[in-house]
Structure 1
């Protein structure tokens, strides 16, 4: 039955004290704001060296991934292909043959065969009952030197099954060989889009424990990637990686440690203590580094005082943790943009409900957010936004455009944050020009 969608009479914002955990907002029709800095499945797939991506779906769905590949520049665009499904294909086409022959034609036209091919089928193949097992078996027989990753671009089922991001990560790491001898000196960082900075707490502690840290974001060849199969353990900070980590434990026997992207000292110390024990080492005395963070935060507070701050979930996977850190140091957080609250952030969410009940919690996907005023009141102090969606919805020119923590973790992330917020509060930026670029921190041909 068709239902008329009435325009929302007011914005779906909630004082955080009134918000429900873990889903403050009812699901429904979704809106995508014009802040494009987050990474998508094309960006993530391009991290795999010497690989090629092939998408098979209708033109409407292809538009986004085609534009992503084009925006990444010629070197990446040449590693991308697509097969378009048209309406008459739904009832006239043998879809198994279409996939097999279409992918075969693409691969035979390339200058040389890639080491790996990430094939993205779509929701329509599920609806039509396409025999994908037969498709991949035939392709592997035709191209025995090519490793095929069975990815999907199927957002329709992502609330009931794996999201495309979760599936892609699992399929990429399923390409790691199972017959390699394990090296106790190697540990992987899996699932990240951005490389950790050299001074990240994770990198420094891994090296202090005598471990070499392998990361897909720093692999220069497919053989570099295959070496990750020799590691004995995996670390990960990206929550889209849970499924891949469990699969690697089952398939390769690689134990895993999830290090949530926490921001408070207590949380960071707990995470680093767990990491040291996991790697067979000991955690150093963190008090001198905490003192350095305190100096940086105090200096920042002296600079920006009560300047309003907005945070969104694309800046960090745990925005409640970050908000709690800032509020406990006297900063004025007024808005948080998040559609759901992660399990690792529940305690921080509850703390904010009690200690900062007037913070406004906004969704980012609700259609009514299209009508949110994106201009600040005359005479109001400029708002400082942490995250591109927060910058878009508030209309501010003072913001940090980083996504997923910007490659920082732990106490080093706090020192970086204080310095970056100090600069952002002083230097207005061209918001529209920055947030229109896809995949912050990745390659882009847009100036």
Structure 2
């Protein structure tokens, strides 16, 4: 007999004081929020200028990606090879991959400089010799850089995830070049860091060229990223990709995370100034002077706090890579943070988690994928207060129209990022947004 789950279901949330660690919630049947602003592997690969995507798999697997390509206007850079039952039964997978890709490229009006091939998981079950397939394709199309990738849901929670692999493969077409000591890459993001953030501004003011795939206007410019002597990555998702670039192209790796901790930001900026010998304002002891930057961030947060008043703030993991660290920052500056939407303690958030357990034990951690999210009341209030959400998922699950529309840190970094986020919080407190219209747009900011 079917049983209705609409009434009497406990909310999928816990007090942070009661949270033991990862995973925060039981893993099982998952809920998918209509908030669709995060980027998938199909969108991330579009960052490679003029690259053409070819997806290979069954009809049911390809249906979603072709709809995504149509939605963001990327059908002219998208093709697919459909695997049929006969291809599997007659063991023709290797031949079908090779000839299918060849046929597509022959029919394109202009041969692209790069092709990103997304092989579905069936090639692993059929033990396809992908190296042999790519060798043959290189022989047929020597001017094309073939970039292997995968759309493999069976590996979503084991080994290197498809998202990690796609970030790595964004730079797979870069080849060894003579290094320019005054050229630096920022790698792994889907949005460029703001030119005004300290990470970029300090480098450019110091005479360095800062390269980012998000700002490359053409394929040749993208390829010049191989000339940079250092790669800086700001999100954990790019860790393996940065390590691969260091090994393959002999580019030094620096991790400068998007952080909301003054202490960590200052540690990163100190490291940046020392590594690149940057002409920054210094204290008498020679260390960089952060007093002015701290004051600007404090003042910006104070203005946002005054504007937000007693609104309850909610934050989601898809908005910023360290939602617990952001929650701590806001609490320390007088905001009423009511809830963080996350199913795990994100990498880098461990210290903030421990601090919140001690200093904000009643802060609620709410699941984003637990099936009970389907029945969560969305009234736009929390504890009798109006809600201000940071992130699309937080806005949808809270039921509020006052929200900061940000995905994967946006272009934020450092003290400048905190100031800009504070400004966005103030604007969100004053003005409602069309949440329903915004959250339906998949991969916010992606254009074909």
Q: TM-score range by the shorter chain?
A: over 0.9
Are the aligned partners of 2:319 and 2:408 in contact in 1 as well (CA < 8 Å)? yes
- Provide the residue aligned with 1:319 in structure 2: 323
| Cα deviation, residue 279, structure 1 | 2.4
Are the aligned partners of 1:401 and 1:440 in contact in 2 as well (CA < 8 Å)? no
Q: 1:409 aligns with which of 402, 407, 413?
A: 413
CA deviation string 1:121-164 (max 9, x = no partner): 01111112112111111111111110100100112112222111
- Provide the residue aligned with 2:151 in structure 1: 153
Q: 2:340 aligns with which of 336, 340, 344?
A: 336
Aligned pairs (5 A) from 1:61-210: 61-73=61-73, 76-178=74-176, 180-210=177-207
Greater CA drift, 433-442 or 269-278: 269-278
- Provide the residue aligned with 1:348 in structure 2: 352
Partners of 1:379 and 1:368 lie apart in 2 by 20
Partners of 1:67 and 1:116 lie apart in 2 by 22
| Cα deviation, residue 93, structure 1 | 4.7
Are the aligned partners of 2:310 and 2:385 in contact in 1 as well (CA < 8 Å)? no
CA deviation string 1:26-72 (max 9, x = no partner): 33232221111011112211111121000011222212221221111
- Provide the residue aligned with 2:29 in structure 1: 29
Partners of 2:341 and 2:407 lie apart in 1 by 14
| Cα deviation, residue 6, structure 1 | 10
Q: 1:289 aligns with which of 293, 298, 318?
A: 293
| Cα deviation, residue 23, structure 1 | 2.3
| Cα deviation, residue 283, structure 1 | 5.0
CA deviation string 1:180-225 (max 9, x = no partner): 1111000101111001222011111112332110100011111101
Q: Secondary structure at the match of 2:30?
A: coil
Q: Secondary structure at the match of 2:23?
A: coil
- Provide the residue aligned with 1:222 in structure 2: 219
- Provide the residue aligned with 1:41 in structure 2: 41
- Provide the residue aligned with 2:275 in structure 1: 278
Q: Secondary structure at the match of 1:382?
A: strand
Partners of 2:89 and 2:209 lie apart in 1 by 53
Aligned pairs (5 A) from 1:227-246: 227-246=224-243
Q: Secondary structure at the match of 1:405?
A: coil
Shift in CA distance, 186/290, structure 1 to aligned 2, threshold 3 Å: same
- Provide the residue aligned with 2:386 in structure 1: 382
TM-score (norm 1): 0.94
| Cα deviation, residue 372, structure 1 | 1.2
Q: Where do 5+ consecutive residues of structure 2 fail to align?
A: 282-288
| Cα deviation, residue 377, structure 1 | 5.5
Equivalent pairs, count? 438
Structure 1 residue 257 corresponds to structure 2 residue 280: no
| Cα deviation, residue 289, structure 1 | 2.0
Q: Secondary structure at the match of 1:78?
A: helix
| Cα deviation, residue 110, structure 1 | 0.3
Partners of 2:297 and 2:442 lie apart in 1 by 31
- Provide the residue aligned with 1:301 in structure 2: 305
Q: Secondary structure at the match of 1:397?
A: coil
Shift in CA distance, 283/65, structure 1 to aligned 2, threshold 3 Å: farther
Partners of 1:226 and 1:6 lie apart in 2 by 56
Partners of 2:232 and 2:105 lie apart in 1 by 34
Shift in CA distance, 431/226, structure 1 to aligned 2, threshold 3 Å: same
Are the aligned partners of 2:229 and 2:252 in contact in 1 as well (CA < 8 Å)? yes
Shift in CA distance, 128/426, structure 1 to aligned 2, threshold 3 Å: same
- Provide the residue aligned with 2:376 in structure 1: 372
Shift in CA distance, 220/43, structure 1 to aligned 2, threshold 3 Å: same
TM-score (norm 2): 0.94
Greater CA drift, 112-121 or 83-92: 83-92
> Over aligned residue pairs, what C-alpha RMSD do you find?
1.9
CA deviation string 1:298-347 (max 9, x = no partner): 12222222210000011100001100000001100001011211231100
Q: Secondary structure at the match of 2:384?
A: coil
Are the aligned partners of 2:305 and 2:426 in contact in 1 as well (CA < 8 Å)? no
CA deviation string 1:65-117 (max 9, x = no partner): 212211112xx320111112234433235000110011011000001111000
Shift in CA distance, 440/378, structure 1 to aligned 2, threshold 3 Å: closer
Shift in CA distance, 12/227, structure 1 to aligned 2, threshold 3 Å: same
Are the aligned partners of 2:308 and 2:425 in contact in 1 as well (CA < 8 Å)? no
